[in-house]
Every structure is written in structure tokens, then in C-alpha cells.
Structure 1
Amino acid sequence: MLLVLNGPNLNRLGLREPGVYGAQTLEDLERQCEAWGAELGESVTCRQSNYEGQLLEWVHEAQEQGFTGIAINPGALTHYSYALRDAIASQPLPVVEVHISNVDAREEFRHTSVTAAVCRGKISGLGFFGYRLALEYLTEGVG
């Protein structure tokens, strides 16, 4: 059972900067992740919040709820949330950081991730397909 977490503003996919993030919506992404999970023989639960504390709670509770890995797009929290970084570091599940856009080709402040160092890996710039790669890793590559 895999958990996909999306942070602030990702509920605006399809509306927010379509030149950067594309025209597909969060609902499209969630359906795609669930379909990819089914192909991999895994159930996938998707959650999104604009609230840092809610994301922290979901990370804290993931193992207790039976999840075996987390794919997370922290959104802007990537660049400054030491609380989210510490939540990821404090639990034993493998976590993969995912970004739809190539954050390293964007504004300078997006080049730093405080969360990536406590994740197993970081996938950036591959659009929604990055989530598939994260799910594949969490299903087959961990170990």
C-alpha cells in the first residue's frame, strides 16, 4: 500500500501556470497514480493539503495505517519546511520526493530542497511520469 502526498497549490493543477505544470488536474494525477499502482500490484492512496500540519500528520501516521512507502511532492514546502523534513526523517518508511517541473531550471530559491536529503531519492522535471517512477521504485526498487 503506497501513499502519494501532494502539498500546497497542487490542488490548482490545470489552472496554475499550465506552461510549467501542464493542463491536467490533480484529479487526473490521482487517477493516473491509482492506475499505475494497479499495474504494479499495489493500492495507492492519494492525498493533498495546503496545510503543512496536515502533511506532517499523514507522514507520521503512514506506517501505522499500513503504508509501505510514500511519494511526496511537498510543493513550496520543499524549500523551507524543516518540520516536514524532520517528519520524513523520523519515520522508517522509504520516501521519494517528486516534482512535476524541473525545479533546478527555475527560480534560484527552488534549487534548494530541505526535504530531499532525508528521502531515498528525488525525481524532478518529468511531469506526472515522475510519480510513476517513484511508485515503481517504492514497489520494486526498495531493499
Structure 2
Amino acid sequence: MHLLVQEDRFDIGRETEAFIAGLRHAGAVVTFTGLVRDNGGQLAAMEIEHYPGMTERAIGAIMDEAKARWALEDALVIHRYGRLGPQEQIMMVATAAPHRADAFAAAEFLMDYLKSRAPFWKKEIGADGAEWVAAKASDENALTRW
């Protein structure tokens, strides 16, 4: 299990290749990369804050839960913080399992958790000022399937 919480950009291809290189028994790898979305074309930037240590512990615990629920060989989570512009990479999840169903389910589980429960705080900055991003009911509802 690999977890990186970082300010720096990451290379999706390089991270995926490194993740796959360490595998021995996987038959499936699922990757997902989230981008900073600019709904309406008014976003100048998004600022993401977190508490170092607390964030890693919380995400690490959910990664452990994913590994206990599905037959995962490995998982990777990268999540950025700091100031990010529209369409920049905000996070990446990769899962590896002997079969695709477990890899897909675990990846979705991790993504749903990161979207709704991971201890990050996001502020959208636009021409009209800045506003903290509120939790969405749809994100909370996504967790009910797990």
C-alpha cells in the first residue's frame, strides 16, 4: 500500500508504471485520476488544505479497509494539496487484484471515501472571490453502497 500526500504534480504514466512494476500476482489494475473541475469557466484556482499526519492516518486506515474487503495485491493513493489550477491533477487511485471486479470495487470505494470523508478542505477562488466547497449530498449518498 502506497500513500502520497504532496504539493507537487505527479506523472500519471510514471506512477502507473512504478505501481505495476511491483506487482507479482495481479491480473487487473484500475487507475483513476481526478482533475480540478471548472464548472462554468469562472474558477481561477482551488486551494486544498489538510493537517499533516491526520490526513495520512485517515487515508491509510481506509486503504487498510479496502485491502481487508477485497482481494487486493496493492493500492496507491496520491492526493495533492496547495494551490491548483483548473484541469490540474488533484488525485490518483490505483488498485491491483487478481481479478477486475475486486480492483474496480476497491478503486471506487477509495474514490468515494476520498471525495466525501478524507480530511481535506477545499476553497474555490474565482473572479467574485473565494468560497469553501461544501459537502454534497450526492457524495455522501455514494458512501451508502459500501
Q: One fold, TM greater than 0.5?
A: no
Q: With structure 1 as the length reference, what TM-score do the two structures score? A: 0.34
Based on CA coordinates, which of the two structures has the bigger radius of gyration? 2
Q: Which has the higher contact order (CA 8 A, sep 6+)?
A: 2
Q: Hey, which of these two has a bigger chunk of helix by percent?
A: 1
Q: With structure 2 as the length reference, what TM-score do the two structures score? A: 0.34
